[in-house]
Amino acid sequence: MGERIGFISTRFAGTDGVSLESAKWAQLLWDYEHISFWYAGLLDRSPDISMCIPEAHFSHPENIWINSQLWGEYNRTPEVTKRIAKMAEYIKGTLYDFVHKFDITILVLQNALTIPMHVPLGVALTEFICETRIPAIAHHHDFYWERTRFLLNAASDYLEMAFPPRNSDIQHVVINETAREELSWRKGVSALLVPNVFDFESPAPKIDNYSKDIKREIGLKEDDVMILQPTRIVARKGIEHAIKLVQMLGDKKYKLVISHDAGDEGYEYQDMLRELARESNVDIRFIATRIGERRQLDTEGRKIYTLWDLYPHADLVTYPSLYEGFGNAFLEAIYFRVPIIVNRYSIFARDIEPLGFKLPVIDGFVTKKVVAEVRKLIEDKAYCKKITEHDYEIATRYYSYSVLRRKLRTLITNITGLERL
């Protein structure tokens, strides 16, 4: 008899890392007859197996007001404390409802006790676990101490209490070695390292009748070289390095395509990139309006493509991030056998690079040597195939679903005391 597992977060919808990794966990748990249920403030899961509580979403108006009083502030008023307690108490009641409705036996807390974007939810979860002693797995993607916006705050007591809590009923999981060390040092808590994974045992989707016209639809010619930046437009993605790379390649046929929008972090960085590309004489295409979570038509009758429709058309993926908790786009490029250039962000340098990947790497700036390597990967198809096949084999060994299956077996065993996977 399998477990009934309740996934909890602020959001399970779209293509963010938390939503994607949670779906992979649920898929593999289902293979062993563990049934997953979902609780969040924003959901794209079936209502039959989920509970949507709008107050649990980080963009709920009350939570936005609370955040405005906590971050970047030295002092907290009694009114803020009162409203946090009131919201946490309400959310805790809905957690009781969720566990009762679906007869949940294990909780999987996805980043909800990690980054304090929703303090009342973290407080509610911590109190709920203390009151019920329900077994819980806390899957941590990015901690508050990794983000400068949380360093100045009026919430030190909440951070100590709930992000994450010290609780023997919680099995902690992190996605990189640095996070495991920091968690141990800051909280005295041990954690299991579970990297992000991909289904490398299954072949990647290929170009089909729907996606074959992407290049024409985004204004490229068939012989243009598509250099894909498959990320949101935020400063930590280091997209200015991708512009510099294309400039140094020095050929009009190289086009830089950025798949995602700037989102809720403002458009100043995107405006800067646009101006930098103009000054550098780089053809840059922002195509977020043509990329969605699923294939469909927009209001003008134009095709909306998915990110996975883009990858098979790409000749190179740029991933010059300054910081990543892990790096899903890195695995996606390897999965689609597209050559990729990576900046040596700390997690890549420590956890990924030593595994033996053969790909061009920049260390804070683009060199002529790197440009020559990129040009060879794009123009020498035999060499490109050799490199991408090698990297695919490495990724299969360390980041495949079989790796996650072994890790989940350990987690469920640890949390229940019984070998049930």
* 3-state secondary structure at position 187: helix
Buried (b) or exposed (e) across 333-354, using 16+ Cβ within 10 A? bbbbbbbbbbbbbebbeebbee
Listed in sequence order, the residues at least 6 apart from 315 whose beta carbon sits closer than 8 Å to its beta carbon are: 225, 226, 227, 338, 339, 378
* Superfamily of the domain at 4-197+401-416: Glycogen Phosphorylase B; (3.40.50.2000)
* Shared fold status for 4-197+401-416 and 214-398: yes
Averaged pLDDT of the chain: 94
Residue 301: how many other CB atoms lie within 10 Å: 6
Can you list the alpha helix ranges (DSSP code H) found in 336-367?
A: 346-347
| Max mean pLDDT range (14-18, 39-43, 262-266) | 39-43
- Please provide residue 97's backbone torsions phi and psi, each rounded to the nearest 5 degrees: -60, -45
pLDDT surpassing 50 at residue 285: yes
24 in Cβ contact with 404 (< 8 Å): yes
Express as a percent the part of the chain with pLDDT over 90: 87
Q: What is the DSSP track for 235-281? A: GGG-HHHHHHHHHHHT-TTEEEEE-S--GGG-SHHHHHHHHHHHHHT
Express as a percent the part of the chain with pLDDT over 70: 98
Where do the domains of the chain lie? 4-197+401-416, 214-398
User: Once rounded to an integer, what is the mean pLDDT over residues 307-325?
Assistant: 94
Amino acid at 45: R
Of the listed ranges 27-31, 136-140, 170-174, the least confidently predicted one is 27-31
Q: Note if the bond before 116 is cis, omega within 30 degrees.
A: no
Predicted pLDDT of residue 419? 47
User: Once rounded to an integer, what is the mean pLDDT over residues 146-156?
Assistant: 93
pLDDT band at 267 (very low <50, low <70, confident <90, very high): confident
Predicted pLDDT of residue 15? 73
CATH number for region 214-398: 3.40.50.2000
User: Once rounded to an integer, what is the mean pLDDT over residues 256-273?
Assistant: 87
